[in-house]
Structure 1
């Protein structure tokens, strides 16, 4: 009540209205997906709640880079030495689109398809790598996107089961 009596504590009405107008202009639901401004590098369809295109969610590289980034180094069957992979966790990408399914069908640029359980993304820090050794991955070197498991973090991951689920040159995920 002192603010009403003491004018030095009063906030000018104009400031309050300006602040409210600014907040309203900037506010948007946390789950809303922007439309891509650059070239679309990933589409996600199927059982998703958030879409920014007709029946799917589209991402450009900047949208993926804006998600929290995670890195790990791991040995793989495809490179002679451990490589560092960086990108958002696949579970964060799925959360951004409100994925509701139990399996993911990943499709690569060459139409290679692999199915992986959503449970893998909950159990392991599976990364949707957009960088390898801190550099963008060209198509000729498994890019621009690569689903990669942290193989060195758990001996169980060093098997054909998980190697086959690591889809490179990823272009689409269907949530089923």
Structure 2
């Protein structure tokens, strides 16, 4: 009977351990800085309204949302005033914090919001946690288009929080929003 060489035994063990390690799925990661399963987010079937890219929990991501994908995260409405329209208006959309959570970006400190006209604003995500900030797709029941501040408009609930009636927040109301970049 022939003796196996020790080096061959070690190599066989190493390949066996590697095969087992590759077969074990990575743990699901939640709000503690661990990524959710991005594969569960629906692929856009309609026009892409929002693109999100950047780094989350040491991984690069690129996610696109159509209206149905945003609605799947949740629909909310707020009634508030704006610096650009008279009176109070009802805005419907998705909470910014819910979008951030859906992509596993709960721990991101800020986002760069970019508009179709290339206007951009850096927004601390603490705003999203503290206030019901919307990525709004409709105003007063009418879907917004690029001609009237759509397809998405970042809307703050000014009526509910007097401190939001400040110019520094008005600059964060990015209309024609189409992209978020995470640091």
Q: Is residue 110–residue 122 contact of structure 2 (8 Å, CA) maintained in 1?
A: yes
Query: Deviations along 1:9-62, whole A, 9 cap, x unmatched?
Result: xxxxxxxxxxxxxxxxxxxx865212111111110011236x9xx940000111
Query: Deviations along 1:62-110, whole A, 9 cap, x unmatched?
Result: 1112222111111111001211111110000111111142101000000
Q: Which residue of 1 aligns with 2:115?
A: 108
Note if 1:37 corresponds to 2:7. no
Q: Is residue 55–residue 61 contact of structure 2 (8 Å, CA) maintained in 1?
A: no
Aligned partner of 2:84 among 71, 78, 87: 78
Q: What TM-score results when the alignment is normalised by the length of structure 2?
A: 0.74
CA distance in 1: counterparts of 2:139 and 2:165, whole angstroms = 19
CA distance in 2: counterparts of 1:75 and 1:55, whole angstroms = 34
Task: Mark the runs of 5 or more structure 1 residues left unpaired by the alignment.
Answer: 1-28
Give the CA RMSD over aligned residues. Answer: 1.8
CA distance in 2: counterparts of 1:146 and 1:78, whole angstroms = 12
Note if 1:126 corresponds to 2:133. yes
Cα distance, 1:143 vs. partner?
Answer: 0.4
Q: Give the number of the structure whose alpha-carbon radius of gyration is greater.
A: 2
Task: Mark the runs of 5 or more structure 2 residues left unpaired by the alignment.
Answer: 1-35
Alignment coverage as a number of residue pairs: 145
1:151 alignment partner, SS class: coil
Q: Which residue of 2 aligns with 1:88?
A: 94
Q: Which residue of 1 aligns with 2:33?
A: none
